[in-house]
Amino acid sequence: MKYFFYPERRFVTFAPIMSNNPKSPIIDLQQQQLLLRMEYEYEKEEFKRQTETMGVARKVKRGLCWYPVSLGRSYYNSLNQLVIDITRTENKEIEHSFEFGRPVCFFHQSFEGKVKYMDFIATVSFADEERMVVVLPGAGALAELQTDGILGVQLYFDETSYRAMFEALEDTIRAKDNRLAELRDILLGTQKPGFRELYPVRFPWLNSTQETAVNKVLCTRDVSIVHGPPGTGKTTTLVEAIYETLHREPQVLVCAQSNTAVDWICEKLVDRGVPVLRIGNPTRVNDKMLSSTYERRFESHPAYPELWGIHKSIREMGSRMRRGSYSEREGMRNRMSRLRDRATELEIQINADLFDSARVIASTLVSSNHRLLNGRRFSTLFIDEAAQALEAACWIAIRKADRVILAGDHCQLPPTIKCIEASCGGLDHTLMEKVVQQKPSAVSLLKVQYRMHETIMQFPSDWFYHGELEAAPEVRYRGILDFDTPMNWIDTSEMDFHEDFVGESFGRINKQEANLLLQELETYIERIGKERILDERIDFGLISPYKAQVQYLRGKTKGSSFLRPFRSLITVNTVDGFQGQERDVIFISLVRANEDGQIGFLNDLRRMNVAITRARMKLVILGDASTLTKHPFYKRLMLFIKRRCVKMHTFCFLRTKPRLSQAGALLLPKDFVSLGIRISL
């Protein structure tokens, strides 16, 4: 297997740059280059290590590989690319990391376990749970795949994304006397963003903070930020801002870090009747999204049949050329040259029509570097989930825009950084965070949330958002059961549970805690009533920060006969996997249980913010208090839950007629006893 990597570079200039605490935008970007280079080198070495030392079975388990796979049909797609269908035949329940645009390589494994990689790199065009469509570099690659042997496919090192980010940083550093240079100095320097004076637009269907945010987007000349805490309607606000901007501009660019986030906002825009052109394949595969993709629009264009016929003729003549005489080959070459010229004309015509008819061009940040967008400029760029995007990725798209709108929440999940040194150096400090800190006038905070019971909302509001969040009246007291506490902490410190280390990627596991969680889930389901859950479609989320715990919970959930009728209503995933989602009931397994008070990446409180705020009506946390409460965040959270629990039970008790035992003693609810509450008459 061949590797195509950038040459090694030493980081001799990194330390002085870090120690100077630079204010200059140029130095800031140079620092980003160095940090990104560190991440690149780390990920490259990690990939080489996995490829060379990690067995196929471990890679399959980690979602990096499909083995074995079966080949389906091969064909030329609408863009004249040779593609082939791939289906995995085993381990279909394991989540994988294959998605549009990611490079892959193929291999054979012998009976002795020896792996032989094929000498070409392919690209994922489409992927779901068990099927993938892969773009091949040519017919030679297809012939190699069709040889005998058990076939597998694994992710390859993503050189393209890094190349695009390095290029964007270099362009931004070198920018001079143009709009990119101005935006660079405004976003990273001391220059204040400019605003136009416009008469405020009223939006009766939005709350006051959402309305303010939309008007600030319309007024800004340079940059505006929509800071949307969980459940505050960030997407609704952003869609409204895009819709209103399109009344003033012919076309905008909408980007996000992930395909899922791009799809979500595209769906909302399509629902509003906005013509969207989606660059890249959607992960949310439905008719609504597929009809907006560049590929589907391309093949539905009136000129497409002629273009397809030309490509077919060129392929047929290419296969016949080897058998003809010299004069016949020369004639075919001339004809093929004329056909290619005509094909180029048709492609230019089709692309012009597609882009002219679209009001919104949507893609991931990396895909905004696509050849289709070369030379195109946009008055406004919207970046959703900007707090999860590397700064370098944002600059890929910013190069094409005159002003920038960032939307997200920097108090939730940060970008995924694999190199600890790069993370500590500030690579996870996003462009959105920098602008929020340095340009508070550009920030609009959404304050009314429409997801959670007020009690569930209150703690993250106090800790992360200075107590500024408020629950909308329609969700303030929403619940499933009468006299139920919206939040519970089940303390496992007296249960002799223990954590086990599984591996670097999978982290920790606590099987006893997982089993207890499932017991509590079954108990709560029985309290609600099985028929009611099925009738009302009450859904549940089981969350853990650790992959090993998640996989164990998934296995136990699938093997439970009690939970079988509710399987479609139960989602088990990591915190990262639950970003942007919500459920009626959330159970969280914190896993960590040790005498040293070590909690690992539970120290990243942004993850806990995400986990807590997924629940609409009921939140149950399982964790070892003696381990976790050594951290002030978890100590305060546990005290908050206990106080709210006492208040709720006191309210319930006072509304209930007191019951006495035969001996004349006051009978207390079970939860009162567990909390050690004493009531005297």
Question: What pLDDT does residue 51 have?
Answer: 74
Report the alpha-carbon distance of residue 551 to residue 569 in Å, rounded: 17
Question: What pLDDT does residue 4 have?
Answer: 38
Q: Which candidate, 273, 275, 256, places its Cα nearest to that of 264?
A: 256
Report the alpha-carbon distance of residue 185 to residue 191 in Å, rounded: 7
Question: What pLDDT does residue 584 have?
Answer: 96
Question: What pLDDT does residue 79 have?
Answer: 83
Which pair of tokens denotes residue 339? 């056909």
User: Which residues, other chains included, contact 123 with Cβ-Cβ below 8 Å and sequence gap of 6+?
Assistant: 101, 102, 103, 104, 134, 135
- Looking from the CA of 318 toward its CB, the CA atoms found within 13 Å total 11
CA distances from 243 to 91, 214, 272, 273, 451 (A): 43, 10, 8, 10, 24
Is residue 255 a contact partner of residue 384, using CB atoms and an 8 Å limit?
Answer: yes
What are the E-state strand segments in 492-564?
A: 500-503, 507-509, 540-544
User: Which residues, other chains included, contact 322 with Cβ-Cβ below 8 Å and sequence gap of 6+?
Assistant: none
- Which residues are 360's β-sheet partners? 252, 276
Report the alpha-carbon distance of residue 38 to residue 253 in Å, rounded: 30
Is residue 467 a contact partner of residue 461, using CB atoms and an 8 Å limit?
Answer: yes
Report the alpha-carbon distance of residue 627 to residue 128 in Å, rounded: 39
Report the alpha-carbon distance of residue 91 to residue 130 in Å, rounded: 9
Question: What pLDDT does residue 674 have?
Answer: 43
Which pair of tokens denotes residue 466? 């200075």
CA distances from 591 to 256, 270, 320, 582 (A): 32, 42, 65, 21
Report the alpha-carbon distance of residue 312 to residue 314 in Å, rounded: 5
Report the alpha-carbon distance of residue 594 to residue 478 in Å, rounded: 36
Report the alpha-carbon distance of residue 291 to residue 303 in Å, rounded: 17
Task: Give residue-wise pLDDT tens across range 45-100.
Answer: 888 887 777 788 888 888 888 999 999 999 988 888 899 999 998 888 787 888 88
Question: What pLDDT does residue 23 have?
Answer: 64
Find where tokens 């007291």 sit. 477
The CA-CA-CA angle for residues 239, 243, 246, to 5°, reads 140
CA distances from 22 to 28, 327, 373, 428, 679 (A): 6, 68, 33, 17, 60
pTM: 0.85
Report the alpha-carbon distance of residue 12 to residue 22 in Å, rounded: 17
Question: What pLDDT does residue 659 have?
Answer: 52
Residue 605, helix vs strand vs coil: helix
Question: What pLDDT does residue 9 have?
Answer: 37
Enumerate residue ranges in the chain where pLDDT < 70: 1-23, 284-286, 322-324, 503-506, 645-681
CA distances from 440 to 21, 331, 427 (A): 21, 68, 22
